[in-house]
């Protein structure tokens, strides 16, 4: 066992002494007085007087002890109160950590929502630059009708062109035949004239 230090001695004496009002010295004096009173051959008056003084000293010791016990009880209650406060503080710290973690999650969710909204706004702007589906379908229907009308016109034009080609071919054929007929007629006239000329020369 290690040597007792001066601090431990002082601490023990203060604990025994209560609040440092000299209780241990008072008890020692009371014990000495009691021993002296028991062995004193003095007169009853002196013994009674000494007895009264010992009762007074004993009352002071009891008062000091009661005061010390009250202080001790108060310290125990304060310790319990401090432990409750400490427990509450720990709970508050734990709750604060949980709230901070939840706030961090909320911040992350808010950032994700904000990013999604920004992307949505960007897509909405791009979509607004194009006509909606109903309008697009109406435009497609109009273009389809126009295409059908143009196809019908093309068919009519092709039919007329084919008819004109046939008529032109017939016309060319007729012109060629007419030209051939004219040439034949001209040749026939020339032949007739050549036959008439020798006959006139013989007369």
Tokens 């001695």 -> residue = 9
Question: Of 75-84, 105-114, 155-164, where does mean pLDDT reach its minimum?
Answer: 155-164
What stretch of H or E contains 150? helix 133-202
pLDDT mean over 190-194: 71
Cα separation, 117 vs 168, in Å, equals 71
Cβ-contact 50, 37 below 8 angstroms: yes
Cβ-contact 27, 61 below 8 angstroms: yes
pLDDT value, residue 183:
84
pLDDT value, residue 79:
93
What stretch of H or E contains 11? helix 6-16
pLDDT mean over 173-194: 82
Cα separation, 201 vs 193, in Å, equals 13
Beta-carbon count within 10 A of 177 CB: 10
Residue 4's alpha-carbon distances to 1, 13, 24, 114, 120, in angstroms, are 9, 13, 20, 70, 79
pLDDT value, residue 2:
46
pLDDT mean over 108-123: 92
Cβ-contact 15, 64 below 8 angstroms: no
């Amino acid at each position: 066992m290690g040597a007792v230090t001066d601090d431990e001695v002082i601490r023990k004496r203060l604990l025994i002494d209560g609040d440092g009002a000299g209780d241990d010295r008072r008890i020692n004096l009371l014990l000495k007085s009691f021993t002296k009173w028991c062995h004193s051959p003095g007169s009853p008056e002196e013994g009674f007087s000494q007895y009264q003084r010992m009762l007074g000293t004993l009352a002071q010791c009891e008062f000091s002890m009661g005061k010390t016990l009250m202080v001790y009880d108060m310290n125990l209650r304060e310790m319990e109160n401090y432990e409750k406060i400490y427990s509450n503080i720990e709970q508050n710290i734990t709750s604060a950590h949980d709230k901070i973690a939840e706030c961090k999650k909320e911040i992350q969710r808010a950032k994700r929502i904000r990013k999604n909204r920004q992307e949505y706004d960007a897509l909405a702007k791009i979509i607004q630059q194009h006509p909606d589906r109903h309008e697009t379908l109406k435009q497609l229907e109009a273009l389809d009708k126009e295409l059908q009308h143009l196809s019908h016109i093309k068919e009519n034009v092709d039919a007329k062109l084919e008819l004109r080609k046939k008529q032109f071919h017939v016309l060319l054929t007729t012109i060629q035949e007419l030209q051939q007929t004219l040439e034949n007629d001209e040749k026939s006239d020339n032949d007739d004239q050549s036959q008439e000329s020798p006959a006139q020369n013989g007369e």
